[in-house]
Amino acid sequence: MSVDFTLDLRGESCPYPVIYTLEALEGMTKGELLQVITDCPASFRNVPEEVLKHGYQFAKEPVKNGQEYLFYIVA
Amino acid sequence: MKAILNKLFTHYWNPYVALILAGILSAIYFGITGTVWAVTGEFTRLGGHILEFFGADISDWAYFDLVHMQGSSFSRSDGWIVWGMFIGALIMVLFSNNFKIRVPKQKRRLVQGLAGGIIAGFGARLALGCNLAAFFTGVPQFSFHSWIFIIATGAGTYLGAKIAKTRWWKGKPSLTKGDKKPSAEKSRKVQPYVGGIIALMYTGLILYFFVTDRPLLGTAAIFGALFGILIERGQICFTSAFRDLWLTGRGLMAKAIIIAMAVSSVITLFVIVIYGMEPITQIAAPSTFIGGFLFGLGIVLASSCETGMMYRLMEGQILYLTVFAGNIIGVTALAYAWDHLGLYHALVASGKSINLISAFGPLGAILATLVMLSILYLLTVYRQKTYRFAGMRSKKGEKKYVS
């Protein structure tokens, strides 16, 4: 599993993690892998929800890394 | 036991559970004290204290008279609701080992937070309450001004969401090619222990209030902490309830708030009827709509309302320091404009306090409230089903998402 793009959202608060993630996925080619690093607690919940609702899949389970989460999403 | 604790503190709670509990608690708090769960009134008093500290004479400001400036924040029950919320949220953040100084990388966020905070604070007090007293605890008091406030906040957040999506406001993310390493994880966990010490000290303070015959302060300190625990654990965000409907069609938070308001309304009605209490009714006037609209706009621009700001600040999100400062500046500016700039005569004096119980009786009031909430719920479900996010890059007419 190789990451094509990384979205580093550390320090960003709502609603920008969701907006940035969905926009990044829109701009990528289908099948590419996006890594999201986020530390906004609200985004631990609303990013995965929105990603799935907008029809994308997770490449693997989210990783909790201390006060951050890592998401791996297939565009 | 360990598994239960782990579940409680490492996972966020279902927002329905957290909000319904908050709705029940706020009805009980009203039954005990005759006041409601609210925060911006106290923010206004804090603004007044700051003015006094710098030597300003505020004795003739009508708005400070209206919110009763007596004593200090630590000798008022409304004060302990606010400090209790901060402390309760902080204890939860520490228990879940989730405190981290989170600094926005884009400096524009700090300016946006300050500007949004000012607008939200000003609007909330113009309407005589924020998302609590004019919304979450206003509807269950059957105060008609909260109905106007909800509609106006809906409109304000819509405009806010439009602005937040523009390129110049939104800014640019750090999107890089390839892999990037996350932060190194610390192996030692000290935060839960710090949280435990704070919890013990706070319990001692509550006992002290009761022992020294100040049960009202003790009660407020308990309920404040419980509200703080619930909003942090449930990640309760009134801003996102509206904003996410406009941005991405997310309806979870909105639906949870509506259901919780319905539960709270029923219980509050029983409290009012059984104990013969007077519901808290605020004036419904043009100021309610304008204030609600400004509040809605401000909370989206600031990324948080006056309530959500509190637990986010405790999570270590530096952005919310500027939002908090903005809120205090906004409420103080409103207190000044109230009489000095004639806002009261222009926008408030023509209004009327309308309570649904006095207008339609208890049964009529609860039926009208439940019908209104049902309509809001159905509108939310409709939006959730039909709307999806479309970013800058998606071309017009191109349908990428098929559900």
Among partner residues B99, B388, B393, which is closest to A54 by beta-carbon distance? B388
Q: What is the SS3 string spanning B218-261?
A: HHHHHHHHHHHHHHHHCCCCHHHHHHHHHHCCCCHHHHHHHHHH
Q: Distances from the Cα of A54 to the Cαs of A28, A58, B67, B386, in angstroms?
A: 14, 12, 46, 12
Return the ∠ at Cα A46 (arms to B305 and B117), rounded to 5°.
15
pLDDT > 50? residue B397: no
Are B26 and B37 within 8 A, CB to CB? yes
Mean of the pLDDT values across residues B154-162? 96
Q: Which two tokens stand for residue A52?
A: 């799935």
Three-state DSSP state, B102: strand
Neighbours of A65 (CB within 10 A): 14
| Nearest residue in chain B measured CA to CA from A16 | B170
Using one digit for the tens of pLDDT, what is the confidence trace for A33-54? 999 999 999 999 999 999 999 9
Q: Which two tokens stand for residue B164?
A: 């937040």
Q: Is B3 left (phi over 0), alpha (psi -120 to 50) or beta?
A: alpha
pLDDT at position B392: 57
What value does the mean pLDDT of chain B take? Answer: 92
Mean of the pLDDT values across residues B296-313? 94
CB–CB of A12 and B97 under 8 A? no
Using the Cβ of B125 and the Cβ atoms of chain A, whether some distance falls under 8 Å is answered with no
CB–CB of B248 and A11 under 8 A? no
| Nearest residue in chain B measured CA to CA from A65 | B185
Task: State whether the Cα torsion B4-B5-B6-B11 is positive or negative.
Answer: positive
CA distance B231 to B254: 14
Q: Where are the alpha helices (DSSP H) in B276-342?
A: 286-302, 308-314, 319-340
Q: How many CA atoms lie within 13 A of B153 on its CB side?
A: 30
CA distance B170 to B135: 28
pLDDT at position B127: 94
Regions of chain A short of the pLDDT cut 50: none
Using one digit for the tens of pLDDT, what is the confidence trace for B107-130? 999 999 999 999 999 999 999 988
Using one digit for the tens of pLDDT, what is the confidence trace for B161-212? 999 999 999 998 889 998 888 888 777 789 999 999 999 999 999 999 999 9
CA distance B349 to B343: 9
Question: Does residue A14 have an active-site annotation?
Answer: yes
Query: Which residues in chain A are contacts of B97 at CB distance < 8 A?
Result: 66-67
Are B130 and B282 within 8 A, CB to CB? no
pLDDT > 90? residue B7: no
Q: How many CB pairs under 8 A join A and B?
A: 144
Are A6 and A37 within 8 A, CB to CB? yes
B358 CB contacts (<8 Å, ≥6 apart)?
A: none
Residue B394 is given by DSSP the state S
Residue B12 is given by DSSP the state P
Question: Which run of H or of E encompasses B153?
Answer: helix B145-165
Using one digit for the tens of pLDDT, what is the confidence trace for B31-48? 999 999 999 999 999 999
CA distance B357 to A19: 43
Most B CBs within 10 A among A64, A67, A68, hence the mutation to make, goes to A67
CB–CB of B170 and A6 under 8 A? no
Q: Which two tokens stand for residue B371?
A: 């019908």
CB–CB of B394 and A54 under 8 A? no
CB–CB of B103 and A11 under 8 A? yes
Among partner residues A7, A11, A16, which is closest to B175 by beta-carbon distance? A7
Among B101-105, B303-307, B314-318, B387-391, the minimum mean pLDDT is found in B387-391
Q: In what order do the strands lie in the sheet with A68-74?
A: A57-65, A68-74, A33-38, A5-8, B174-177
Q: Which residues make beta-bridge pairs with B317?
A: B102
CA distance B138 to B38: 10
pLDDT at position B393: 52
Using one digit for the tens of pLDDT, what is the confidence trace for B375-384? 999 999 999 9
pLDDT at position B134: 87
CA distance B9 to B7: 6
Indicate the pTM of the whole model. Answer: 0.92
CA distance B155 to A53: 25
pLDDT at position B398: 44
Among partner residues A22, A27, A39, which is closest to B102 by beta-carbon distance? A39
